[in-house]
Every structure is written in structure tokens, then in C-alpha cells.
Amino acid sequence: MSQQDSVEQWIHELAQLDDGKMTEKQFKIIEAAVEVFSEKGYAGSSTSEIAQRAGVAEGTIFRHYKTKKDLLLSIVSPMMSKLIAPFVLNNFKEVLESNYPSFEDFLYAIMMNRLNFVRKHHKIIKIMLQEIPFQPHLQAEFKQQIGTQVFQRLSTIVEHFKSKGEIIERPSQELLRFMASSMIGLLATHFILMPDQPWDEEQEIRDTIRLIMNGMSTK
Amino acid sequence: MSQQDSVEQWIHELAQLDDGKMTEKQFKIIEAAVEVFSEKGYAGSSTSEIAQRAGVAEGTIFRHYKTKKDLLLSIVSPMMSKLIAPFVLNNFKEVLESNYPSFEDFLYAIMMNRLNFVRKHHKIIKIMLQEIPFQPHLQAEFKQQIGTQVFQRLSTIVEHFKSKGEIIERPSQELLRFMASSMIGLLATHFILMPDQPWDEEQEIRDTIRLIMNGMSTK
Amino acid sequence: MSQQDSVEQWIHELAQLDDGKMTEKQFKIIEAAVEVFSEKGYAGSSTSEIAQRAGVAEGTIFRHYKTKKDLLLSIVSPMMSKLIAPFVLNNFKEVLESNYPSFEDFLYAIMMNRLNFVRKHHKIIKIMLQEIPFQPHLQAEFKQQIGTQVFQRLSTIVEHFKSKGEIIERPSQELLRFMASSMIGLLATHFILMPDQPWDEEQEIRDTIRLIMNGMSTK
Amino acid sequence: MSQQDSVEQWIHELAQLDDGKMTEKQFKIIEAAVEVFSEKGYAGSSTSEIAQRAGVAEGTIFRHYKTKKDLLLSIVSPMMSKLIAPFVLNNFKEVLESNYPSFEDFLYAIMMNRLNFVRKHHKIIKIMLQEIPFQPHLQAEFKQQIGTQVFQRLSTIVEHFKSKGEIIERPSQELLRFMASSMIGLLATHFILMPDQPWDEEQEIRDTIRLIMNGMSTK
DNA sequence: GATGAATGAGCCTTCATTCAT
DNA sequence: TATGAATGAAGGCTCATTCAT
């Protein structure tokens, strides 16, 4: 699936959040906004350029989004939930336990899953990372979603494996940070630092997970 | 040493790059610019606010820095070299081998060192990270400094330990990324994500290095 | 016809060059710009004063003209062609020969015609003369229009009368300069040097042409 | 004599008006100001560029000239008198009658004289012509000097020749304008319109005067 | 709903001028 | 006398936003 296609898909998903009421124009606006924001940053972008690239009159943007910030949030905010969606499945723990024979298999599965997600939405994720420090609204959302929802669920998992003696006895926060850092580092390297350099995804992911597992394993 | 003091120190170091010729006003301007840029981002900051916070007329800024971008670069650009300074010491390898009995000790030392550096300059580093994606000049510098200088030196080290059989046989790039991710993840967590939450530095650093060593060790 | 009216007429002519699409506001802007530029010179005028006199927000100017210089050129540039229009009629020579029994009659006719033109557009012509030395674009246009188009056509005429023995044998360039100087001198005197002093147009023009004819005649 | 030399000479003459008290710096300032004003026009020039070209601190200009306008006037104003100096000699009429057998000879002499003057000072004259329309002070001076002093003296001469029957009976104003236009037109052509094109000065001047004489002569 | 002309606050930058050294 | 750092008003221009059509 091409990048263009993936952005389109994302926009369609957004549209459904708005009860599926999204005009052709509105679609073009979001598409253009993602483009421009990710190229120049939120503050460095002008609504007039977005309008131009969207092939839409300047005023049209403000018919759909009260302000420029509104436009930003309407793009970035829903992305946050999508990003962590797999971790907050209702039956997350069950899925995990019933589907994956080992923790390592679980890590691999979730990594491949998020890798594909990031690949599809890297522009919006770039915008999100850039703007979290400056948008209190995004900060709050981030803290609540990651800090509370995801962290707590993952903690439970880690505790579980610690109690089974498979993982060393260190604070869950540290262990989770270690895992997250390694995996995010992998994604960052290939999507941000060296986006043009080809890589053997499967191999590198397996290696990374191996390093993580070795690091935390009690054996 | 207070944060304020550390920023002052940094500015003094900058001053020395300019042959020590730095006015009182120029000093105040940089100080204010660091403040404002890190709070609002480069594009979101106005020179008039910087002038105001510096207690200086707006025109004064432009007597010392031809443009707003000039001001940004004169703050961020020198920081890049400082950030990687320890890795590009002329006698880096010797220092490493003669002073540190084990690789682990070396990691610990360099981690503590960079931790203190980041603590002192976190505002400027924040600005740097925010602006690298949008400032070609910074991008080039970053690629050259990190990508070439630092990466090559560290590779040598890692190869060395691989050949001694202490580290597993995986591509150096992967191993370095793994190490860097874990350590940067630690810094990011405490300086960016949760800057207000207290933590036991020594303990967490030791733990993190332990996880890294376990991950890469051949034992 | 009052001066005000003549400026309005000129602006309407400009409008037609733009496919007749000219807002009320745009009209006011040009009107004010002509006023201010001719009073204070291009560099000495501020867009804010133009906006004020036009009863328009400053931003409105820049919606219609990308830059201040654009505004200047859009006023002055079309004037150049109008100024020399009579000389570059397709059938210029025929008109001349069939309508005017003598060269003197022709001179008189063209002088009266241009006199009325200058009277109507003296403000814009003043701006044009002031700015030609500083605007390469205008310089180029001037050289091409006058230097090439007009000069060549008039040369042909003069050669014609020289060959008929009515005009003395001197380089056409000199003769044309002599004619132009005398006539432009007349206009300059009454429109620039002494704009408030009344004069007998017909008489002075006839006299001037007489002086010119005497000067060049072979008799 | 090179152009550079002539500007220097002019500045020295200016210096003498100030009781010869002109420092090296002051000299450089005027030199630079003439250069810059003539290149970019008064309003388009900045005192900082003048200071820079003069190799002088910005403040130094204002030690010698209270304002930028002061600097302009101190350059242009004295030039006006110089320009018309030959016409206002105390014994102008005597000189004329005793030295020049015919009116034509007189015209030739004065033309050659002013030609050399304009050649030497064309930059300052350009500034003068550009600024007269915008500087009331210069306007007043111009009107008084030309309009009163020069015009009256020349009128007397013309009347004299009219009474001798050598010149046709037309208003002196018209005749003078005719003469002045032709001669100024000649200068303007070669110093302003086509400064780079070589010309046979003596020949063109003689031709022009011949045209003028033919025009006005009673024969 | 869509347009795009209009707005006016605000932006970065320049400039003539001042004044302590 | 000469300097040049400092000033702050003003300049040209951009921008998010509004609103009549």
C-alpha cells in the first residue's frame, strides 16, 4: 500500500469519527494540512498554503475547523488513541496469553504491528511528536493515555512474568522504559534518522527483541 | 548548581568562541532567546518577546544577529559539538582502555558525564531536537557530527569487544543503536517526559547499563 | 475634465488590462498610490499612508500587489506604452502623410495630442520620470520603447523629409533630439516648473514649432 | 581629469565654504554620500551605508551633519550656485559683449563651459534634479536662483539682440526656453540617457547651436 | 457549503539618531 | 573628535480569521 493511500485511509477513519460526514473538500484539507505541517511544523505553516495545496478557498478551512489549532488537534488527537490501540484492547491480557506462547513472541507480534502503523502514519506521528511539547491539550492526552492506560496494563504483564521468574526483579517502570526505548529507537532510526536507507525489517526486529530479552531474562 | 547558573555558564562558553567579545546586552539576549525558544519553539517565538524578556530594544537583537535564524543557529550550532565532545577526544580509545577496567565501567562513566551535560543544557538541547527537522543547516551538522564522527569511533570500540568475545556477534550498527536507545530513553524519560518526578540517578543508570550489558553479553 | 477625473479614467483603462476585474478597493488603492508616490517619491512613501488615504487596510494592498514595487510598476509600466502610443500606430506613416499637408501641421497635431495626454496623467508621468533611474525594469522598458520603437519610426519620417530637401542634412539623431528637447521643454516648463502659471497653449505651441521648423528648414 | 578627481575637487571647494575646516573623515563622508545618493536616491539611501563606504562610524556623520537631510542639502545646495555661476557674474554683460563677436559665439562658449561643469559634477546634479521636487528648501533656492537671477540677466541679453534685429520678435521667455531646452536636452541625452555612448562633443554642440540660431534668426 | 476579498494585529527587519565612552 | 552600541519608531509584509455574496 502506497504512502498516499495510507494517508487517505487514515483520513477516512477520521471521517468516520465525525459520523462519516466528511466532504471532498474537507478530505483535501486534512490531506494538505498533514503534508504542510509535517514539512514545516505547525507554527511554520500557513493556512493559506494549506488551502492552496488543498485546492480550496482560504475561508473553507475555517468553515470546518474553527481555528488553525483546531485543525491541528483534529488531525493529531485521534492519532494518539490509534497509536496505543493494541495495548488497550479490552481483552488485552487474554489475547496475549492465549495467542502467544512466550513473551518474546508477543513482543515480536506487537512490534510488527506497530511498525506497520508507524510506516503508514509517520507524517502525522512526526507532527504529534513535534507538537506535544507546545500543545497542553496534547500533553494532557498523552499523559493520560500512555502514562495511565498503557503503562498500567503493560506493568501488569511485566509483573506477571516477573512472578513467573522469567524476568529479573527490577522496577517495572525501568523494565518498560528499557523495552520501549529499544523498540522506539529502532523505529526512530529507520523512519526519522535514516528514512531512505533500506533495512531488513524482520531481522532487525528479531535482533532487537533478542537484545531486550537477553537484557531482562533471569537465565 | 542551579539551572540558571548552568545556562549562564554555557553562554559564557559561547562568548569565548566569539573571542570573548560579548556585551552585557548580548548575554541577556541569548539568555532570553534560549528561554523563549524552548518554551514556544523557534517559529512560535517572536523577536519582540525575546527583546522584552532580555530587557533590550528589539533593534538591539539585530545589531548582534543578522536575522532571527542567525540567533537560533548561534545558540544551537555550537551545542552540537559540545554534546558529542567526549566521543571525539583525540585519545578517546586510550582513555577508554587505560581508565576503565571493563566496558561496563566505561559506559557508566560516559553516561554520568552526559547526564550532567544534558541536565545543564536541557533547554538548548530541546531547541536543538525540535529544530533539526526544519533547519537544513542543523541537519547537515548533525549528520556529519553524529553519523560520521561519533558512529565510527564507537564502532571501533564495539568491534574491539566483539573480537575479544565479550559481546555477541551482531552488526555494530544494531548494537550501538540498542545501547544509544536505552541510554537516551533514560535521559528523555527524566528530562522530557517526567522532568518533575524525582529519581535515583545512580541506581537507574546502573540498572540500565546492566540491562544493556546483559543484552549484549556472550555469557 | 478635472484632474481627478483624468486619474480615474486612467485607472479604468488599467482595469481593462486586467480583464476589467478591478475591485472598488483596488481602484482606491491605485488612486491613493498615484497621489502619494507623486507627492513624496516612491522610496519616501509608505504603504501605510497609501492604505490610509485609500481608506483600506494595509493588508488589502498586498492582496492585490505582491510588493510595494509591484504596485509602482503596475501603475507606471502601462503608462509608458500609452505615452508613446501615437508614435507606434501601425499605419503611422500613412496617417501622417494623408492627413497632414506639411510636417509642421503634423508636429502641431501630435504636440496638441501629447499635451492633453500629459495634462491628464502628469502625476503618473512625474512618478515615471523620477523612478526610471532607479528601477531597472522601467529602464529596460524605456530603452526598448523609446530607443527602439519610437526612434526608428521617427527617423524614417525625418529621413523622408531630408530626402525631399525640406530639412537640413544633419544626423537624424541630432534633429530628433532637437525637436524632442524643444517640445518636452515646453511641457516641462508648464507642467513641472510653473504648473500654476497660466499660458496660451496654442500660441506657445505654434511658436515652438515655428522655432523648430526654422531651425531645421533648408530655406 | 578623472571623475574621482573632479568629485574630490568639488568637495574641496565645499570645504572652503566652511572656512576650510573639513577633516579627512568629513571629506570621506561627503564623497560616500554623493556616491550613494546618486545611486539609490536620497530616500533610498541609508546613513549606515554611507558611513560604511566612507570608512567611518555611523555616529560620525551626525557629528558633522545634524540630520540626513542636512547632509543632502550641504551637498546639493552649494551646487546650485556653482551651476549658474557664469550667468551671474557681476560684469556678465560686459564680458559677453567685449569677448564674443556674435551671439552664436557666446552660446558656444557658455555651452562648452557648462558641459565641462556637468561632466565633472553629474552625480551631484543628478541628486539635485531628483530631489528638487521633494525638498522645499531646494525648490525655493532653485526658483530664486534660476527664475529670478538667471532669467532676468538672460532676458536682457535676448532683448538686446531682438532690438538689434538679429533675433525674431517673440516673448523672451519663449526664446529662452527654446534655447535652454535644446542645450539641456543635449546634455541630458549624453549624461543621463546614453552615458556610455561616445559622441563628438564639439560637432554636436555646434550643430545644436546652429539649429537654435536658425530657429531664432530673422534672416 | 464555498468563496475570496478584506481585515488589522503582529512579525521581522531597517533606520536615523543619541550618547556614554 | 570619533566611536559604535543602543534605541524605538516605522517600514514592508504575512497571517489567521471574518463575512458578504
Tens-digit pLDDT profile for residues C31-45: 999 999 999 999 999
Enclosing domain of residue B58: 3-64
Q: Do C178 and D208 lie within an 8 Å CB cutoff?
A: yes
Quick one: pLDDT at residue D1? 46
Instruction: Give the predicted TM-score (pTM) of the model.
Output: 0.88
Asked if residue A70 belongs to a domain, the reply is no
Is C44 in contact with D40 (Cβ distance < 8 A)?
A: no
Mark whether C and D touch (3+ CB pairs within 8 Å). Answer: yes
Same domain flag for D57 and D146: no
Q: How far apart are the first and last CA of chain A?
A: 41
B99 and B145 both lie in a single domain:
yes
Q: Do B216 and A216 touch (CB under 8 A)?
A: no
Domain end, chosen from D64, D94, D112, is at: D64
Residues C72-110: pLDDT tens digits?
A: 999 999 999 889 888 887 777 777 777 777 888 888 888
Same domain, C112 and C50: no
Q: Which of C43, C64, C85 is the last residue of a domain?
A: C64
Residues of chain B in contact with residue A181, where contact means CB-CB under 8 angstroms, are: 181-182, 184-186, 188
| Mean pLDDT for all residues in chain B | 88
pLDDT in tens, B129-168: 999 999 999 999 998 888 888 898 889 888 988 898 889 9
Does residue A186 sit at the B interface (CB-CB below 8 Å)?
yes
Instruction: Tell whether C179 is covered by a domain.
Output: yes
Tell me which residue has cell 546502573: B206
Instruction: Identify each DSSP E strand in A120-202 by its residue range.
Output: none
Burial bucket for residue C18 (CB in 10 Å: 0-12, 13-18, 19+):
exposed
Q: Do A144 and A47 share a structural domain? A: no
Same domain, A190 and A85: yes
In a domain, residue B149? The reply is yes
Cβ-contact C129, C184 below 8 angstroms: no
Residues 6+ apart with CB under 8 A from B130: A130, A133, B41, B42
Question: For chain C, how many helices (H) and strands (E)?
Answer: 11, 0
Residues of chain A contacting B41 with CB distance shorter than 8 Å: 41, 43, 133-134
Instruction: Identify the residue whose cell numbers are 488599467.
Output: C14
Query: Would D163 be classed as within a structural domain?
Result: yes
Please indicate whether, in this complex, the C-beta atoms of C181 and D177 are within 8 angstroms of each other: no
- Rounded mean pLDDT of D169-188? 94
pLDDT band at B1 (very low <50, low <70, confident <90, very high): very low
> CB–CB of D212 and C217 under 8 A?
no
Residues B129 and B52 in one domain: no
Say whether both C102 and C31 belong to one domain. Answer: no
Examine the domain organization and report whether D81 and D149 are in the same domain.
Answer: yes
Has residue B110 been placed in a domain?
yes
CATH of the domain at B31: 1.10.10.60
Which value, to the nearest 10 degrees, does the dihedral of the CA atoms of residues C50, C55, C60, C65 take? -40
Arithmetic mean of pLDDT over chain A: 88
Q: Which of C178, C213, C217 sits opposite D182 (nearest CB)?
A: C178
Task: Give chain A's domain count.
Answer: 2
Q: What is the pLDDT of residues A89-114, one digit of tens each?
A: 777 777 777 777 788 888 888 899 89
The two most distant CA atoms of chain C are separated, in Å, by 64
Q: How far apart are alpha carbons B124 and B139 in whole angstroms?
A: 16
Could you read off the pLDDT of D108-161 as tens digits, one per residue? 888 898 999 999 899 999 999 999 999 999 999 998 888 888 898 889 888 988
Residue B141 contacts by C-beta under 8 Å, 6 or more apart in sequence?
B77, B80
**Do D183 and D95 belong to one domain?**
yes
pLDDT more than 90, % of chain A: 56
Neighbours of D106 (CB within 10 A): 18
Written as one letter, the residue type at C80 is: M
Asked if residue C80 and residue C43 are part of one domain, the reply reads: no
Q: Is residue A69 part of a domain?
A: no
Q: Which residues pair with D217 in a beta bridge?
A: D167
Residues D103 and D137 in one domain: yes
Average pLDDT over residues B25-52: 96
Rounded CA–C1' distance between B134 and F18, in angstroms: 32
Q: What is the predicted pLDDT for the residue at B6?
A: 64
C170 contact D CB<8A: yes
The SS3 assignment for B102 reads coil
- The yes-or-no verdict on residue A210 having pLDDT over 60 is yes
The C-alpha cell of D208 is what?
Answer: 545644436
State the sign of the Cα–Cα–Cα–Cα dihedral A17, A18, A19, A20. negative
Percent residues over pLDDT 70 in chain B? 90
The reply to whether A211 falls in a domain is: yes
Domain contains B15: yes
Residue range C195-214: mean pLDDT, rounded:
93
Position with higher pLDDT, D194 vs B20: D194
D69 touches strand E (CB under 7 A): yes
Mean of the per-residue pLDDT values of chain D? 88
CA angle in degrees (0–180, nearest 5) for A83-A87-A91: 135
Q: Which of C64, C96, C117 is the last residue of a domain?
A: C64
User: Do D121 and D57 have their domain in common?
Assistant: no
Instruction: Output the 3-class SS for chain A.
Output: CCHHHHHHHHHHHHHHHCCCCCCHHHHHHHHHHHHHHHHHCCCCCCHHHHHHHHCCCHHHHHHHCCCHHHHHHHHHHHHHHHHHHHHHCCCHHHHHHHHCCCHHHHHHHHHHHHHHHHHHHHHHHHHHHHHCCCCHHHHHHHHHHHHHHHHHHHHHHHHHHHHCCCECCCCHHHHHHHHHHHHHHHHHHHHHHCCCCCCCHHHHHHHHHHHHHHHHECC
Looking at residues B115-121, what average pLDDT do you find? 91
- Are D52 and D20 in contact, with CB atoms under 8 Å apart? no
Contacting residues 63-82/A vs strand E (CB within 7 A): 63-64
Q: CATH code at D154?
A: 1.10.357.10
